[in-house]
Structure 1
Amino acid sequence: MDEKEALILLNEWWKTGKVSEKLAKPYKRKAFEEAHRLLSSYRQILIITGLRRVGKTTLLYQLISHLLQKGIEAKNIIYFSFDVSSSEITKILEAYKTATGVDWKKSEIYLFLDEVQKLKNWSSQVKLIYDNFPNIRIIISGSASLQLEAQAINNLAGRYFIIELKPLSLLEYYELKYNKKIENFELYENELRSELENYLKKPFPEIVSWESEAEVKAYIKENIIAKITRGDLPDTFSNVNFSLLESMLNLFYSKPGMIISPDNLAKDFGVSKTTIENHIFYLEFGKLIRIVKNYRPNIKMESRKLKKVYPYDISLALAIANVEKAYIFETAVASASNAFHYWRMKKKEVDFVIKDKLIPVEVKTEKKINANELKHLQYFIKKYKAKKGIVVYDGEKEEKIDSITILPFLRFLVKRT
């Protein structure tokens, strides 16, 4: 299939004037409003990243549908996926001109590029278009967020906004599954609590209504994990050992929060330390794991050692491992708060530090919190002059002790969305 044929197939609205509901699904996630706002307000490139199957392509189609509803000419909106081919962008635009008769160099057009990480030197090509053709609005998406962010920083400085689309939040999960908009948490607290366990296992749009646990696990293992370890990563990097990747995942997912020791892992897996470090990077690159560093106020002081590893999302781990409740809570809190730091000093430790706001977070599975359990949190607050701290626990009542808020696990997940 050449570029012209692919474009005609992918851009149904050129003929119909609309995007089918199968592609632009009715339920709009919170990220839609942010993407729409940025697209409406600024010329900068909009970059949408995220794990596989979180709905990035659906978001692109929803934006296209919204543009059509606003009256944008259908043939002035282009969608292309590099899953189809890795053709250069200018070649795609020339094929678009041939197919539609629209002169892309002069007309006001919207260019949607999906799975852009599969295009070699994509950022240089996007920069060329952006700098020389102010008539073209560019929206791109990709699953390899580390690559997209690195190339954007290097080649597109000042030219882009980035949105990371994550697995569904608890509220989004419930709204999508039951087709109800939740405006007031208090009214739906019991309903959300009853869905919490299901939500943690399947926060992906396609499977919110699936009942079979075996099918949910198979979906996550085959359509997310295996697609990344056996497809995306080997396609992106050379010398990828997908068997090693999967063995490392089995270990990391069974013990969320473990300290990474490349030397010990190298001995355990019978490979070099460099190979282990590379494969840890690949797993992080593919959004399968989250690396959490030991917090220090000065980034130069952050220890390269004592890094912890968590699943990027707890659902990934639950698909392939038996995970203890405490680790489920920790991983879910890390994901909901987008935490990349914890804190350890001598015998004192705090589970997570939300660095941009300097909020220490402790995670407990107890039903009640004893004041003695707050000592490390209080020490951190005093030492670093933090304004507040948070304890997440398995109770139902929200409390406050001095500057520390004690939040039920359910409420924390809702408040962080």
Structure 2
Amino acid sequence: MDELLEKFIKKIEVTQLQFTRNMMNDIDWTARLIGLRGARGVGKTTLLLQYIKKNLKLDGTSLYTSLDNIWWAENRPVDVASEFVRKGGRYLFLDEVHHYPTWRQEIKNIYDDHPELKIVFTGSSLLELLDARADLSRRAVMYHMQGLSYREYLNIRLGLDFEVIRLDELLEDPVPLAQMVNRKIKPLQHFDDYLKNGYYPFFMEGKTGYHHRIEEILNMILEIELPLQRGVDPAYVIKMKQLLQIIAESVPFIPNVSKLSNRMKINRNTLVTYLHYLQEARLIAHLYKDAKGISRLQKPDKIYLENPNLPFTLAGKNAGKGNIRETFFINQVAYQNKIEYIDQGDFRINDQTTIEVGGKNKSFEQIRGIENAYIAADDIEYGGNKRIPLWLFGFLY
């Protein structure tokens, strides 16, 4: 265990605290067992290390370790936890647990055997708490973490301190909110860069190689995580990559499952299941006309990529502006709200608000006569009269 402690201390020493995600305040750190899901690259590890550095003492009572380390090939978490508790350990942080084959059983045993120990674990978006031998769903308080909002991107890049805006106050009167931002910066000056290069926190390491790193994340999810965690046939991985590219170039992608299944030479239900897995992996987002009672075998009405950076990675110059606008809107709003696809207008939020997304000259024709209807318009600074700057929806988390 000394080797783990040494690596832990070295990581803490290089952890920076200039910017921390708001999510750190949303987590109930008093819970005995906390789980944090999220796609690769969104900053789960950084969040854990920052929390430790800000709130816990390095006196032997805390330990962070990642289970993707080769050290775990010959060691067991339950044994390390027992030794850690005997030496006064109280806070155990287990990162990337999905790399350890029996992680659920190990964590369950640690939780049951050491009631004085608080455990935090992280894993991929595909993390499942329930299997035949260990059910963590009744024990763990789970959270999902996604990439940076536009607000967080501005704060981290420019050293600012913009606060989260509530959806209801944004819809009620966006003008003073937009004025507040415009007094400090020109939000449109940075918006395009965020859409292309700002969702993943590793943008801070430079634009060179940024989209190559996203490609590596995609390949890891498609080639390793989905086959191992969901049993996806590796023979279909290349077809799933092609499907993601089609979605990236569409405005938006309206799936014809029968045609797709014939083209990919795959059973229809299997294809819909694979689409469900891609959504679980946070690579795509599904929209339905009625979000109630959705089953795994229900075909989505529209499909988008999960965040606006992905179209640039997968389609490059072929990434459509309209697609990127709508992808941004869904990504920022759906994190804490329900979004549905509708025939008149683009989206319905929380069963009561209709939104049409478009450019600065977008008319109200498509949503005329609808109550609680708004335009989310790109390329405007302030808005007004039910016209809201699209970028301002990036301040909701």
TM-score by length of 2: 0.82
Shift of 1:76: 1.5
Summarize the alignment of residues 351-362 of structure 1 with structure 2, pairs less than 5 Å apart.
Answer: 351-354=346-349, 357-362=350-355
Shift of 1:269: 2.0
Shift of 1:342: 2.3
1:384 corresponds in structure 2 to none
Name the SS of the counterpart of 1:120 in structure 2: coil
Q: Distance in 1 between the 2:299 and 2:220 partners? A: 30
Distance 1:116 1:170, change over 3 A: same
TM-score by length of 1: 0.78
Name the SS of the counterpart of 1:228 in structure 2: helix
**Aligned Cα root-mean-square deviation (Å):** 3.1
Q: Distance in 2 between the 1:49 and 1:86 partners? A: 23
> Which of structure 1's runs of 4+ aligned residues deviate more than 4 A?
85-90, 300-303
1:343 corresponds in structure 2 to 341
Shift of 1:340: 5.8
Q: Distance in 2 between the 1:175 and 1:361 partners? A: 29
Q: Distance in 1 between the 2:360 and 2:101 partners? A: 52
Give the percent of matched residue pairs that are identical in Structure 1 and Structure 2: 22
2:31 corresponds in structure 1 to 43
Post-superposition Cα deviations, 1:234-270, rounded to whole Å, max 9, x if no partner, equal: 3324323321221111112211532223221111223
Is the contact made by 1:396 and 1:408 (CA closer than 8 Å) also made in structure 2?
yes
Distance 1:150 1:350, change over 3 A: farther
1:295 corresponds in structure 2 to 290
Summarize the alignment of residues 220-239 of structure 1 with structure 2, pairs less than 5 Å apart.
Answer: 220-222=214-216, 224-238=217-231, 239=233
2:12 corresponds in structure 1 to 19
Shift of 1:139: 0.7
Distance 1:157 1:149, change over 3 A: closer
Shift of 1:87: 4.9
State which of 107, 122, 136 in structure 2 corresponds to 1:126.
Answer: 107
Shift of 1:367: 1.9
Post-superposition Cα deviations, 1:11-69, rounded to whole Å, max 9, x if no partner, equal: 227xxxx921x33553211112223xx11xx324222121211110000111111233x
1:392 corresponds in structure 2 to 376
Distance 1:25 1:292, change over 3 A: same
Summarize the alignment of residues 74-113 of structure 1 with structure 2, pairs less than 5 Å apart.
Answer: 74-85=59-70, 87=72, 91-95=76-80, 102-103=85-86, 107=88, 109-113=90-94
Is the contact made by 2:94 and 2:120 (CA closer than 8 Å) also made in structure 1?
yes
Is the contact made by 2:187 and 2:381 (CA closer than 8 Å) also made in structure 1?
no
1:55 corresponds in structure 2 to 43
Name the SS of the counterpart of 1:399 in structure 2: coil
Shift of 1:7: 1.8
Question: Larger relative CO (CA 8 A, sep 6+): 1 or 2?
Answer: 2
Is the contact made by 2:12 and 2:53 (CA closer than 8 Å) also made in structure 1?
yes
Distance 1:363 1:219, change over 3 A: farther
Post-superposition Cα deviations, 1:183-217, rounded to whole Å, max 9, x if no partner, equal: 686354343210000001122212146344xx332
2:329 corresponds in structure 1 to 333
Post-superposition Cα deviations, 1:140-176, rounded to whole Å, max 9, x if no partner, equal: 1112x2434667xx92344332222211111211221
Q: Distance in 2 between the 1:150 and 1:257 partners? A: 34
Post-superposition Cα deviations, 1:290-338, rounded to whole Å, max 9, x if no partner, equal: 1222226x53799934532110111011112122111111110000011
Is the contact made by 1:359 and 1:390 (CA closer than 8 Å) also made in structure 2?
no
Is the contact made by 2:345 and 2:367 (CA closer than 8 Å) also made in structure 1?
no
Is the contact made by 1:147 and 1:285 (CA closer than 8 Å) also made in structure 2?
no
Name the SS of the counterpart of 2:348 in structure 1: strand
Shift of 1:97: 5.6
Which residue type is aligned with residue 205 of structure 1? P
Which residue type is aligned with residue 312 of structure 2? L
Distance 1:201 1:411, change over 3 A: same
Extract unaligned runs of 5+ from structure 1: 382-387
Which residue type is aligned with residue 46 of structure 1? I
Q: How many residues align?
A: 372
Q: Distance in 2 between the 1:359 and 1:302 partners? A: 25
Which residue type is aligned with residue 399 of structure 1? G
1:385 corresponds in structure 2 to none
Is the contact made by 2:37 and 2:127 (CA closer than 8 Å) also made in structure 1?
no
1:31 corresponds in structure 2 to 23
Which residue type is aligned with residue 168 of structure 1? L
Post-superposition Cα deviations, 1:353-393, rounded to whole Å, max 9, x if no partner, equal: 33xx32434233232454433237x1xx5xxxxxx444311
Is the contact made by 1:48 and 1:164 (CA closer than 8 Å) also made in structure 2?
yes
Distance 1:121 1:291, change over 3 A: farther
Larger displacement relative to structure 2 (332-341 or 89-98):
89-98
Distance 1:10 1:262, change over 3 A: farther
